[in-house]
Chain A
Amino acid sequence: MDKIIIKLNKDVRAKVIDICNKFNNDPGELINVLHQTQDFLGYLPAEVQELIAECLHIPTAKVYGVVSFYAFFTMTPKGKYPISVCLGTACYVRGAEKVLDAFKKELNLEVGQTTPDGKFSLTCLRCVGACGLAPVAMVGDKVYGRLTPADIKGIVDEYRNME
């Protein structure tokens, strides 16, 4: 079998090694390392997980085990306009699921995916602290409240038109 050669940007590599060093390459700090790496890169591609495994001296399978366990970690890059729909209790009882379905339909996406053009990604979260506006969704840092499924096309178009 051929050797797998993974191409990783030089700066990304240096930064990931830096993060691992900051945690003394301690396997017990895996979750923190993953957190900070995702913070800076936006996602955790396979080659980055390989590199982290090498730095912390643990099997790649173990790193992947943790990444795939926690919903917070993602292996798909986020879109330019990341959409998060709140599924916290207040939003949920006021119809968040229908709002989420409307986003899925409008973007032809499942939760955790990114559109092929890289513009939109769809995730769920639990409570942004704006329960008075339930149901709530965020696009980037902007909060949209009291949503109904009918509002969704307009919101998405707002960003489509920015291009």
Chain B
Amino acid sequence: MDTIKLTIDNREVEVPKGTTILKAAQSMGIDIPTLCHFEFKGMDVHNKPGGCRICVVEVEKRRNLAPACVTECMEGMVVRTNSIRVINARKTVLELILSDHPNDCLQCAKSGNCELQALAIRFGIRENPFVGEGHEQSTYQVEVSPSIIRDMNKCVMCRRCETMCNEMQTVGALSAIERGFPAVVSTAFNQHLELSPCTFCGQCVAVCPVGALTEVDHTPKIIRAIADPTKKTVVQVAPAVRVALGEEFGMEPGSIVTGKLAAALKALGFDYVFDTDWSADLTIMEEGTELIGRLTKYLAGDKSVPLPILTSCCPAWVNFFEHQFPEMRDLPSTAKSPQQMFGAIAKSYFAEKINCKREDMISVSVMPCLAKKYECSRDEFKVNGNPDVDYSISTRELARLIKMANIDFNALEPIPFDSPLGESTGAAVIFGTTGGVIEAAVRTAYEVITKKTLPKIDFEELRGLEGVRSATIDVDGLKLNIGIAHGLHNARKLLEDIKAGKSQFHAIEIMACPGGCIDGGGQPLHHGNSDIIKARWEAIYRADREMPIRKSHENPSIQAIYKEYLGEPCGHKSHELLHTHYFDRQTTVEVDLEK
């Protein structure tokens, strides 16, 4: 490989050709400040518009300062990253950005986690010479959707959200619009997010450096519900939360905090602390049975069977195909997501068990996800207007609740989840990462189809963090072709193949967020550090290995509910409670040709 030698801050360095000054400096441990720049290693995300100019450096023999994030290193270059000229320029850039930014840090949801605030601290900003210099700050109306709050007064036009929405997710809801002071990232015709193709995946929120994009906060409602003596509160926790929550309390990424998490929820005052893993096992029973059903019919010669079957656990993915591929909505499994299965069972089976009226039960979910907030508000998941899941909070919101209630998380004694909706298997915990749902389904499908015990529980061929993966699983002679995609731009590739009749898969698992739920839009912020995602990913499989039972159909509490309440998987009662249907939400032009 061709390399280049240059000098940065009086130190020589050799880097591959094409390296930017920013990268070269980073390799030497020099931390040039950045704001708009965002790179998510291994996930194929690059946002470098070179727009904010916070990273300017001085290059000898060059007249103007160079933005380090987009300037390539040249042979013999002499770079200064901390000359007085550079420091003054950065400070001016920062003051100009702040002159059009509200000063309400104390009340901002991103306070303490804001990259602009961190820069203001780093540069010791105490006053701003540009405030009030002949123009008012731009004003935009704050927009609230079921999942996401957009306060564009705080937008710094880094355009990271636009990159996530268009390149990572190919959703195309967001774009930069207007120019000059009115410039902002918004939807087509500045319409409400709910009228755009937005899937509420929350990846825009996950990368926003400031408080422009944040989640809808359900914590006040939950505090009220817990305090209400006439209500029974039931909480469920998604698998990916237990491998990420610890980060909010200073633990190493990848720490598994399942027991402490259950203890914290008890300490907060929830009456019943249950586990979404339980309903993940239930999902496998339903979705797995559906897969076997479709496959059996297909192999018996019925070519009209909708195949490949697509997973339906991820609500952002459901929104995506409803908006962009509505004609293919017979392909996904009709099984509800684990969150919604849990809600439906909590407010029927469990409510009956504890003799509690539906209206007196408040069902809460803790999710790594922002789309789950939207999902639980969907009309088809309500009975007489009463939702199966009343409130969904993100991992970040739960951390805030725990801190607010002065619970010393690190000192908590781990406890198990309550029974009966708390027992789960290793197959359920891997729902938290890409490849996990389909591996859990295969573990069960194999044993159901062959009536033999799996020789090896771990399907290494289904694991990994590559965007699109495929594997053929030998189910006693039956060759099951499986596809896996995470990140919606990868999902789109597989869907285009199906549309073109080129897909060879029998089953496809799709998760909207890169890495799956471990990197959901509601997780602790990673600020572009993909090592954190890798650590959570490893923790998920570690948690699986530590479980005494690792196949969903062996979960005794799942076996019990079929025996005493549901009957059989995909049976009548299951269909009523655990299955759903999808809608055409395409918003593109439909032309009236008669006029």
The residues of A with any CB-CB pair to B shorter than 8 Å are 1, 3-10, 13, 46-47, 49-51, 53-54, 58-65, 68-69
A61–B178 contact, CB under 8 A? no
Nearest-CB residue, chain A, relative to B587: A4
A61–B589 contact, CB under 8 A? no
B589–A8 contact, CB under 8 A? yes
A58 vs B592: C-alpha distance in the bound complex, in angstroms? 22
B31 an interface residue at 8 Å Cβ cutoff? no
Chain A residues in 8 Å Cβ range of B175: 59, 61-62, 64-65
B195–A61 contact, CB under 8 A? no
- A9-B595, A10-B595, A69-B177 in contact; A62/B588 too (CB < 8 A)? no
29 A-B pairs within 8 Å (CB atoms) are namely A1-B194, A1-B585, A3-B584, A3-B585, A4-B587, A7-B592, A7-B595, A10-B593, A10-B594, A13-B591, A46-B188, A53-B588, A59-B175, A59-B188, A59-B197, A60-B188, A61-B173, A61-B175, A61-B186, A61-B196, A62-B172, A63-B188, A64-B175, A64-B177, A64-B188, A64-B189, A65-B175, A69-B176, A69-B178
Chain A residues in 8 Å Cβ range of B179: 68-69
B166 an interface residue at 8 Å Cβ cutoff? yes
A5–B176 contact, CB under 8 A? no
B199 an interface residue at 8 Å Cβ cutoff? no
Max chain A CB contacts within 10 Å: which of B166, B171, B585, B592?
A: B592
B174 an interface residue at 8 Å Cβ cutoff? yes
Chain A residues in 8 Å Cβ range of B2: none
B147 an interface residue at 8 Å Cβ cutoff? no
Shortest beta-carbon distance from A8 to chain B in Å: 5
Shortest beta-carbon distance from A66 to chain B in Å: 9
Shortest beta-carbon distance from A74 to chain B in Å: 14
A60–B590 contact, CB under 8 A? no
B187 an interface residue at 8 Å Cβ cutoff? yes
B592–A65 contact, CB under 8 A? no
A61–B187 contact, CB under 8 A? yes
Shortest beta-carbon distance from B235 to chain A in Å: 30
A6–B591 contact, CB under 8 A? yes
Chain B residues in 8 Å Cβ range of A6: 589-591
- A58-B172, A59-B166, A61-B175 in contact; A5/B592 too (CB < 8 A)? yes
- Number of A-B residue pairs with CB-CB distance less than 8 Å in the complex they form: 82
Max chain A CB contacts within 10 Å: which of B174, B175, B589, B592?
A: B589
A63 vs B175: C-alpha distance in the bound complex, in angstroms? 9
Nearest-CB residue, chain B, relative to A49: B188
List B480-494 residues whose CB lies under 8 Å from chain A.
none
A50–B177 contact, CB under 8 A? no
B586 an interface residue at 8 Å Cβ cutoff? yes
A6 vs B166: C-alpha distance in the bound complex, in angstroms? 24
Chain A residues in 8 Å Cβ range of B186: 61
B591–A60 contact, CB under 8 A? no
Task: Report whether over half of chain B's contact residues are helix, strand or loop; otherwise say mixed.
Answer: loop
Shortest beta-carbon distance from B342 to chain A in Å: 26
Nearest 6 pairs between A and B by C-beta? A59-B172, A61-B175, A65-B175, A60-B188, A61-B188, A64-B188
A161 vs B189: C-alpha distance in the bound complex, in angstroms? 37
Nearest-CB residue, chain B, relative to A50: B589
CB contact between B172 and one of A5, A9, A61 (< 8 Å): that residue: A61
Shortest beta-carbon distance from A31 to chain B in Å: 14
Instruction: A46-B189, A47-B589 are known; give 7 further A-B pairs, CB within 8 A.
Output: A1-B585, A3-B584, A10-B593, A59-B175, A61-B186, A64-B188, A65-B175
Shortest beta-carbon distance from B322 to chain A in Å: 11
Chain B residues in 8 Å Cβ range of A69: 176-179
A8 vs B593: C-alpha distance in the bound complex, in angstroms? 7
A23 vs B497: C-alpha distance in the bound complex, in angstroms? 26
Max chain B CB contacts within 10 Å: which of A50, A54, A59?
A: A59
Shortest beta-carbon distance from A48 to chain B in Å: 9
A3–B590 contact, CB under 8 A? yes
List B188-204 residues whose CB lies under 8 Å from chain A.
188-189, 194-197
Chain A residues in 8 Å Cβ range of B173: 59, 61
A53 vs B585: C-alpha distance in the bound complex, in angstroms? 17
A46 vs B189: C-alpha distance in the bound complex, in angstroms? 7
A50 vs B590: C-alpha distance in the bound complex, in angstroms? 10
Max chain B CB contacts within 10 Å: which of A13, A59, A61, A65?
A: A61
Max chain B CB contacts within 10 Å: which of A6, A7, A50, A68?
A: A68
- A3-B584, A49-B188 in contact; A8/B591 too (CB < 8 A)? yes
Chain B residues in 8 Å Cβ range of A1: 194-195, 585
A3–B586 contact, CB under 8 A? yes
Chain B residues in 8 Å Cβ range of A49: 188-189
Shortest beta-carbon distance from B489 to chain A in Å: 13
A68–B591 contact, CB under 8 A? no
A46 vs B178: C-alpha distance in the bound complex, in angstroms? 15
CB contact between A65 and one of B176, B194, B589 (< 8 Å): that residue: B176
A68 vs B195: C-alpha distance in the bound complex, in angstroms? 19
A64 vs B589: C-alpha distance in the bound complex, in angstroms? 15
B591–A7 contact, CB under 8 A? yes
A65 vs B159: C-alpha distance in the bound complex, in angstroms? 13
Chain B residues in 8 Å Cβ range of A3: 584-587, 590
Chain A residues in 8 Å Cβ range of B197: 59
- A58-B172, A59-B166, A59-B188 in contact; A65/B177 too (CB < 8 A)? yes
Nearest-CB residue, chain B, relative to A70: B179
A59 vs B515: C-alpha distance in the bound complex, in angstroms? 25
Nearest-CB residue, chain B, relative to A46: B189
A9 vs B177: C-alpha distance in the bound complex, in angstroms? 27
Nearest-CB residue, chain A, relative to B593: A10
C-beta contact mask, B566-595 vs A, less than 8 Å → 1, else 0?
000000000000000000111111111111
